[in-house]
Copies of this chain bind each other. A is one copy, B any other.
Amino acid sequence: MKPSITKGTRDFTPTIMAKRNYIFSVIRGVFQKYGFKQIETPSIEQLSTLMGKYGEEGDKLLFKILNSGDFAANLTDEQLLERNSIHLTNKICEKGLRYDLTVPFARFVVMHREEIAFPFKRFQMQPVWRADRPQKGRYREFYQCDADVVGSNSLLYEAELIEMIDEAFTKFGIRVEIKLNNRKILSGISEIIGEADKITDITVAIDKLDKIGIDGVVAELRSKGISEEAIKKLQPILNMSGDNHQQLNTLKEVLAASSVGLKGIEELEEVLGYVEMANLKNNVAIDLTLARGLNYYTGAILEVKALDVAIGSISGGGRYDNLTGIFGLDGVSGVGFSFGADRIYDVLEQLNLFPAETNQGVAVMFAAFDAEGIKYCLPWLRALRGKGVSAEMYPEPAKMKKQMAYANATGAKYVAIVGDNEMASNTIALKEMATGTQETLTLEQLLERF
């Protein structure tokens, strides 16, 4: 039998794992430094927890788990012969795989609310599964790295997330632009131009400004049935330019009659105020076309774009006013952010930014050429390990060439070679793999070296 791997899933070899662990460890370090605490939730959730939370399309993309035991026994002839896969699924599946980390987190908060100290700053780094059509860069199993704060309306947290983003990408060495919008401003714009129900059409059109120009955007707005008067009112926004403060001033004029719009501007200003104090390494820019998560974000909307690689958004987030409402706990506002580990991986790889230490080879590999040589090495090996130094013994008295090939392939930093001369003089010959230089050391000298 020739084995295969499921479409859209991946094996991670040691080399890739080391790089992935580097990404996770940078992100984890930033999360922890900012006071976020890790939780984990089960991979398997009740379908009743998951269904209806991601739209109709999302329901289809959930991986469903067949009930154990004799699941078909109690189905009626009618139910069976209908051959309706959706109806049948409801009868034979009660559980599904986690689709994101947000809904399980909401469930967690509701179920553990008595033990949690609010504001609750949690981070979570776990795989999620989606029965998507696999394609380049899109997988059926992938990691999400989320940080959220729930139980506080303070806009300090929006600023804190932006600082975390700035710090993480600075550590990665990836130059980014952090884009910031506010759902209330989008609501204000729709309100002012009298098209409150067309907020999505409007933002989708504005989003194309760079590509199709003002005339193109206007044409698209017309095609969506937006009135000439509304389009006219949009002009100052389409023509908006200058830095964040100049844009905020334009918006204040345009949205002067919308209380929700003004609230959005006020929130943006407060967040930008905190952020400006922080001397970030990366630029934070207002971007009104940012419309991710329009269904659930109620305040800030955040997105990160890499400057030196043509790739979509590499991370994003925002504020939602009622995360846990779906599970019966109202009034818990939250703001959160998700690092896209797979995309960050691709960017680091393309820009050749992975640090050299992601090589996970041992510090010292011992090579001997007969059984006696191996026995000679063992106390040296144990002495190194006793000092906390990673080390291993090539397990057979194989030819030098074979042992060196293994050391090369596994990334060993040094090879300690033991032949008759070394045994006679109570030494080893330590060869540095990167340079090829070799020196003869006693055990004491070897231990001093590491």
Query: Which residues of A are interface residues toward B (Cβ below 8 A)?
Result: 1-6, 9-14, 17-18, 20-21, 32-35, 37-46, 48-49, 60-61, 63-66, 68-73, 75, 77, 80-81, 83-85, 88-89, 92-93, 95, 97, 107-108, 110-112, 115, 117, 119, 121-122, 127, 129, 131, 140-141, 152, 154, 156-157, 160, 163, 167, 274, 277-278, 326-328, 360, 362, 365, 374, 378-379, 382, 385, 388-393, 395-396, 405-406, 409-410
Closest B-chain residue to A10, C-beta based?
B42
Measured in the bound complex, the distance between the Cα atoms of B119 and A365 in whole Å is: 13
Q: Which residues of B contact A40 (CB under 8 A)?
A: 11-12, 17, 20
Measured in the bound complex, the distance between the Cα atoms of B362 and A163 in whole Å is: 17
- Is A127 in contact with B43, judged by CB distance below 8 angstroms? yes
Q: Which residues of B contact A156 (CB under 8 A)?
A: 374, 393, 395
- Is A39 in contact with B11, judged by CB distance below 8 angstroms? yes
Closest B-chain residue to A75, C-beta based?
B83
- Is A33 in contact with B68, judged by CB distance below 8 angstroms? no
Measured in the bound complex, the distance between the Cα atoms of B69 and A347 in whole Å is: 33
- Is A410 in contact with B11, judged by CB distance below 8 angstroms? no
Neighbour of A111 across the interface among B11, B69, B378, B405, CB < 8 A? B11
Neighbour of A18 across the interface among B2, B38, B274, B405, CB < 8 A? B38
Closest B-chain residue to A109, C-beta based?
B3
Neighbour of A5 across the interface among B84, B111, B389, CB < 8 A? B111
Neighbour of A84 across the interface among B3, B35, B42, B72, CB < 8 A? B72
Closest B-chain residue to A74, C-beta based?
B83
Q: Can you tell how many copies of this chain the complex includes?
A: 2
* Shortest CB distance A33–B (Å): 5
Q: Which residues of B contact A379 (CB under 8 A)?
A: 277
* Shortest CB distance A266–B (Å): 14
Residue among A40, A115, A390 with the highest chain B CB neighbour number at 10 A: A40
Instruction: Provide the main secondary structure of the chain A interface.
Output: mixed
Q: 17 new A-B pairs (CB below 8 Å) besides A1-B327, A12-B41? A: A6-B44, A11-B112, A14-B39, A21-B38, A33-B388, A34-B390, A35-B391, A42-B141, A43-B43, A65-B65, A66-B66, A66-B92, A66-B93, A73-B83, A77-B81, A117-B410, A278-B382
Q: Which residues of B contact A131 (CB under 8 A)?
A: 68
* Shortest CB distance A171–B (Å): 11
Measured in the bound complex, the distance between the Cα atoms of B11 and A9 in whole Å is: 25
Neighbour of A42 across the interface among B11, B13, B154, CB < 8 A? B11
Q: Which residues of B contact A410 (CB under 8 A)?
A: 35, 37, 117
- Is B6 in contact with A154, judged by CB distance below 8 angstroms? no
* Shortest CB distance A29–B (Å): 9
- Is B44 in contact with A13, judged by CB distance below 8 angstroms? no
Closest B-chain residue to A121, C-beta based?
B392
* Shortest CB distance A238–B (Å): 36
Q: Which residues of B contact A119 (CB under 8 A)?
A: 395, 406
Q: Which residues of B contact A70 (CB under 8 A)?
A: 85
Measured in the bound complex, the distance between the Cα atoms of B49 and A195 in whole Å is: 55
- Is A328 in contact with B63, judged by CB distance below 8 angstroms? no
- Is A17 in contact with B5, judged by CB distance below 8 angstroms? no
Q: List 17 A-B contacts (CB under 8 A).
A: A2-B328, A5-B107, A5-B111, A10-B42, A11-B40, A11-B108, A13-B39, A17-B40, A20-B40, A21-B38, A35-B390, A35-B392, A35-B410, A43-B127, A63-B66, A72-B88, A278-B378
Measured in the bound complex, the distance between the Cα atoms of B32 and A388 in whole Å is: 10
Residue among A13, A60, A141 with the highest chain B CB neighbour number at 10 A: A13
Measured in the bound complex, the distance between the Cα atoms of B32 and A391 in whole Å is: 9
- Is A72 in contact with B63, judged by CB distance below 8 angstroms? no
Q: Which residues of B contact A385 (CB under 8 A)?
A: 33-34, 167
- Is B48 in contact with A1, judged by CB distance below 8 angstroms? yes
Pick the 9 closest A-B CB pairs, nearest first.
A35-B392, A117-B409, A9-B42, A154-B395, A14-B37, A80-B80, A12-B40, A3-B107, A68-B131
* Shortest CB distance A396–B (Å): 6
Q: Which residues of B contact A35 (CB under 8 A)?
A: 362, 365, 390-392, 410
Measured in the bound complex, the distance between the Cα atoms of B61 and A69 in whole Å is: 9
